[in-house]
């Protein structure tokens, strides 16, 4: 049974993802990043709810948020704050950071790769060391998670090192055709998010993650990295180490004190390119077959296509639909049929977990 | 050529559904509610409905089907595959065919389903 902290964080994901279509796995990755103290890069075309996800996630955990759309001419003071002119007259270069990025607990930076060298250099220290350095000013920042967004990965080599600071990459595509009606319906029902968890809850899980025993997964994880290299999908040493923190965070969010084969799926999110992530998922299927996470079911399934993760996601989805008020519309039947179809499509009758068979029986009864 | 059928993993992508008897009648009712965008064939007590994956109707008692990616003319239940190369089976069958529970159901004449034809079946 999950404890209160984990329950609240699950509720935070529910709250943040409600009203967004096909975005829950990405919201789950934001929580994973926050707990692992690793930053997240969202890549995708404009208008795919990248900023909305970050906004809603920050609200759900009651975090102080800073958000900015960067451009080629963005000045450092637009992110970090203006110089304190009074102190400047006294000969000191001090930045006034009130309400600016150095004081944010969650940051969202759109079009991040458009930033100038001056901006990105200061940002690098802030992201890597949680330290704001400007002139002689040095301060620890409360940043738990930076979510950056861009249409595409940078092709300039000098930006590649900066991009490598974002351990998790999520590719966000427009809502698929089959879910357009859901998008239109959700858009009219989107409500502001009230806090249901706290930053202290995230910190508690981060502390647990720091103490997760990784002994049992080191060899399998190294085998995974080798398998990726054999496929021509290289991960920097930095990424490989970051991956360990993501695995520990996944274990902590699943309520485990020892990481297991069920927690290796975040390695797919370490792979930067979309096509490489697809290949990684395919190549690593045998390594990730046991993937499962009760707090991050969508992300676990999306990154592993494992049967346990899929079963859990279908169970959560089906139970939520059956528990929701029956509006008597065909949309409700359509959604329920969709769950039934997913069960039959992915699980042969004699291979089906018992709880999935129970859910199927309840769906048949509800549709009768 | 002897062909046996074994479990397929991972399953095929479901792009259709087949049913007989009472399940087929329920399938017809759901298909009527899902028009347009469906194609199919119907026979004596049997109904096959083909659709894009997200639009495949679902009823209890029906079997999800899909084309074999290595021989797209061969359609089977999503959890089943032949023990010989599917291209050999497809070649032996000739036209686009669903092989299900010992039956060979030609799909080459699958046509868009309309409310009149579907409503009049069986």
What is the C-alpha to C-alpha distance for residues A235 and B85, in angstroms, rounded to an integer?
Answer: 37
Please tell me if residue B58 touches chain A, with a CB cutoff of 8 Å. Answer: yes
Matching residue, tokens 């025993």: A213
- With bands split at pLDDT 50, 70 and 90, how would you rate the model's confidence at B119? confident
Mean pLDDT of chain B: 91
b/e per residue A137-162 (b: at least 16 CB within 10 A): beeebebbbbbbbbeebeeeeebeeb
Please give the Cα distance from A160 to A359 (Å, whole number): 47
What residues of chain A lie within 8 A of the CB of B58, using their CB?
337-338, 340-341, 344
Over residues A8-38, the pLDDT tens digits come to: 999 999 999 999 999 999 999 999 999 999 9
* Cα–Cα dist B90/A239, whole Å: 47
Contacts of A87 (CB under 8 A, 6+ apart): A93, A94
Taking CA–CA distances from B10, the nearest residue in chain A reads A346
Q: Give the per-residue pLDDT at B37.
A: 86
Measured in angstroms, the CA of B117 and the nearest CA of chain A are apart by: 22
Asked whether the predicted pLDDT for residue B120 surpasses 90, the reply is no
B contacts of A177 (beta carbons < 8 Å)? 54
Q: Write down the ipTM of this complex.
A: 0.93
When computed from its CA atoms, the radius of gyration of chain B, rounded to whole angstroms, is 14
pLDDT at A328: 64
- The predicted-structure confidence for B73-100, as pLDDT tens digits, reads as follows 999 999 999 999 999 999 999 899 999 9
A344 touches chain B (CB under 8 A): yes
- Does residue B34 surpass a pLDDT of 90? no
Q: Is B33 on the interface with A (CB under 8 A)?
A: yes
Residue A364 forms contact with B (CB below 8 Å) = yes
The closest alpha carbon to A290, from A309, A266, A314, belongs to A309
Cα distance from B42 to chain A (closest Cα, Å)? 21
A331 touches chain B (CB under 8 A): no
| B25–chain A nearest CA distance, Å | 13
Contact B64 A337 (CB under 8 A): no
Q: Is A78 exposed, middle or buried (0-12, 13-18, 19+ CB in 10 A)?
A: middle
pLDDT (tens, 9 = 90+) of chain A, 368 residues, equals 679 999 999 999 999 999 999 999 999 999 999 999 999 999 999 999 999 999 999 999 999 999 999 999 999 999 999 999 998 898 888 899 999 999 999 999 999 999 988 899 899 989 999 999 887 788 999 999 999 999 988 888 878 888 999 999 999 999 988 788 889 988 887 889 999 999 999 999 999 999 999 999 999 999 999 999 999 999 999 999 999 999 999 999 999 999 999 999 999 999 999 999 999 999 999 999 999 999 999 999 999 989 999 999 999 999 999 998 876 677 788 889 999 999 999 999 998 999 999 999 999 999 88
List the strands of the sheet with B39-42, edge to edge. B103-106, B97-100, B71-77, B63-68, B16-20, B46-50, B39-42, B111-112
| C-alpha B114, offset from chain centre | 18
Q: Does A281 touch chain B (CB under 8 A)?
A: no
Contact B79 A340 (CB under 8 A): no
């Amino acid at each position: 049974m999950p404890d209160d902290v984990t329950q609240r964080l699950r509720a935070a994901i529910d709250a943040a993802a409600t009203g967004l279509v096909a975005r829950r796995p990405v919201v789950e990755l934001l929580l994973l990043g926050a707990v692992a103290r690793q930053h997240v890069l969202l890549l995708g075309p404009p208008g795919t709810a990248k900023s909305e996800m970050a906004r809603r996630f920050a609200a759900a955990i009651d975090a102080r948020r800073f958000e900015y759309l960067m451009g080629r001419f963005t000045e450092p003071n637009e992110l970090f704050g203006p110089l304190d002119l009074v102190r400047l007259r006294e000969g000191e270069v001090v930045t006034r950071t009130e309400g600016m990025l150095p004081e944010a607990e969650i940051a969202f930076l759109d079009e991040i790769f458009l930033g100038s060298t001056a901006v990105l250099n200061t940002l690098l220290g802030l992201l890597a060391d949680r330290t704001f350095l400007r002139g002689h000013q040095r301060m620890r920042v409360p940043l738990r998670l930076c979510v950056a967004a861009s249409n595409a990965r940078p092709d300039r080599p000098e930006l590649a090192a900066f991009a490598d600071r974002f351990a998790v990459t999520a590719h966000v595509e427009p809502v698929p055709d089959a879910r357009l009606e859901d998008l239109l319906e959700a858009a009219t029902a989107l409500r502001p998010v009230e806090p249901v968890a706290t930053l202290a809850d995230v910190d508690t899980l981060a502390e647990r993650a720091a103490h997760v025993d990784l002994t049992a997964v080191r060899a399998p994880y190294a085998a995974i990295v080798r398998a990726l290299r054999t496929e021509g999908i290289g991960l920097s040493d930095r990424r490989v180490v970051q991956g360990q923190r993501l695995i520990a965070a996944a274990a902590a969010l699943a309520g485990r004190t020892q990481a297991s084969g069920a927690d290796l799926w975040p390695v797919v999110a370490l792979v930067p390119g979309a096509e490489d992530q697809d290949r990684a998922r395919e190549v690593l299927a045998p390594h990730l077959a046991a993937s499962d996470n009760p707090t991050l079911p969508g992300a676990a399934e999306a990154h592993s296509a494992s049967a346990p993760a899929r079963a859990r996601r279908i169970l959560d989805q089906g139970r939520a639909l059956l528990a929701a008020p029956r509006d008597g519309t065909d949309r409700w039947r359509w959604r329920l049929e969709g769950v039934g179809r997913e069960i039959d499509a992915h699980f042969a009758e004699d291979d089906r977990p018992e709880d999935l068979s129970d859910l199927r029986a309840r769906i048949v009864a509800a549709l009768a | 050529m002897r062909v046996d059928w074994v479990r397929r993993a991972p399953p095929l992508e479901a792009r259709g559904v087949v049913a007989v008897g009472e399940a087929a009648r329920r399938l017809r009712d759901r298909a009527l509610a899902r028009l347009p965008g469906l194609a199919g064939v119907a026979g004596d007590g049997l109904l096959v409905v083909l659709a894009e994956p997200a639009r495949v109707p679902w009823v209890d008692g029906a079997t999800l089907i899909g084309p074999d990616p290595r021989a797209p003319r061969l359609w089977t239940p999503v959890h089943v595959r032949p023990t010989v190369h599917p291209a050999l089976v497809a070649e032996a069958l000739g036209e686009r065919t669903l092989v299900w529970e010992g039956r060979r159901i030609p799909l080459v004449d699958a046509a868009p389903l309309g409310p009149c034809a579907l409503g009049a079946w069986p």
